[in-house]
Amino acid sequence: MSILDLPARVQALAAADRELFDRLFRVSVSEGRLRAPESMRGWLTERFGSAKAVERQTVVRLTNRWTLEEAVFNPLRSRRPRTAAAPAPPRADDDPLARPLELTPEDTFGRIGGAHCLTAANVAKAEAWHGLIVFLEPEPMAFTHESVLDCLETARRWWAAAHEADAEAAYPLLFWNCGAAAGASLAHAHVQVALARSRPFGGVERVRAAAEEYRARHSADYFRDLVRVHAALGCAVTLEGAALLASLTPAREREVMIVAPTIEEGLGEALYAALACYRDRLAVPAFNLCLFGPPLAVGDEGWQRFPFVARLVERGPSDVGAMELFAAAVVSHDPFELADTLTAALAVRP
């Protein structure tokens, strides 16, 4: 199964699933054509397999009708030339996170420690409540099942402490920029946590508003139907109550979306499984992870039944350009291949 076969696969779905897909997504397929001069044909054959593969190429464009997230798929783009500067080797004396008690500030409510991590306040804040969770193991890709679950529990405790200190701070966010290509300013493994005041961050609010509008119009749960469509197409697996989706509208390469009812119900297991698949099966060198969920304060009907959602994407050299910033994500890797890899990885878990 390939993303290029998606229209045929959708037509082969049961009627109810096909109707649900059409309710959630819009798909279009087009053919790009060009004429290559004879002088280029040797290079095209070496790079893309043949000149013919480039002269007629299929492009699939897939749009989420509700969030307006959009991805454009063309497998040929994974073979295009790229340049990347070699990262500078880290200096041994340039790691303040190696001695967080001495070289990082703490939040006004103090530090929160786990078995594998410790919190610090963020020096340059993106929100009034913005902190770090510093792993005791400095190597970012050396995370373990225990350290990932411990990090998630530490984040939950940090959010609770920040909310207790400031009742208006209620909207949780966690993000991990792992690797220089993912925007990490420090090589030492660390996660960032924030608790937005008064209203959620804009990207989170866009998803919440889409889910609320979907429920109002169709009397159905947006996330439940999103998982069902991915499952019908073979792009979802479940683990202890959480769903892992090989996203059909990825923001970047190989996006895995995790949907869990609460932070305690399968989220940690699914998160570790996805991260381990990235590292051990796909050899992903850098990634971005974002996690958000309903507010800590109750009472807003717009957040009714809103789950915890994690989004994980691969990052590499030169993977963001103007089109990605202002129009649509342009993606090389096939989500159906990612789904197969996720399924195989979960099948061999102890």
pTM metric for this prediction: 0.90
Residue 87 above 50 pLDDT?
Answer: no
- Cα-Cα-Cα-Cα torsion 233, 338, 341, 81, nearest 10 degrees, comes to 150
Residue 86 above 70 pLDDT?
Answer: no
Q: What is the CATH number of domain 99-350?
A: 3.30.428.10
Residue 114 above 80 pLDDT?
Answer: yes
User: pLDDT of 187-225, one tens digit each?
Assistant: 999 999 999 988 899 999 999 999 999 999 999 999 999
Query: Helix (H, G, I), strand (E, B), or coil: what is residue 178?
Result: strand
Q: Please state whether 198 falls in left (phi above 0), alpha (psi between -120 and 50) or beta.
A: left
Lowest mean pLDDT among 247-261, 291-305, 318-332: 318-332
Band (322; pLDDT cuts 50, 70, 90)? low
Residue 80 is predicted with a pLDDT of 56
Any idea where the domains of the chain sit in the sequence? Answer: 99-350
Q: What's the Cα-to-Cα distance from 93 to each of 89, 123, 124, 132, 329, rounded to whole Å?
A: 12, 19, 21, 20, 38
Helix-strand-coil percent breakdown of the chain, rounded to 5? 40, 25, 35
Residue 111 is predicted with a pLDDT of 93
| Residue pair 246/312 in contact by the 8 Å Cβ criterion | no
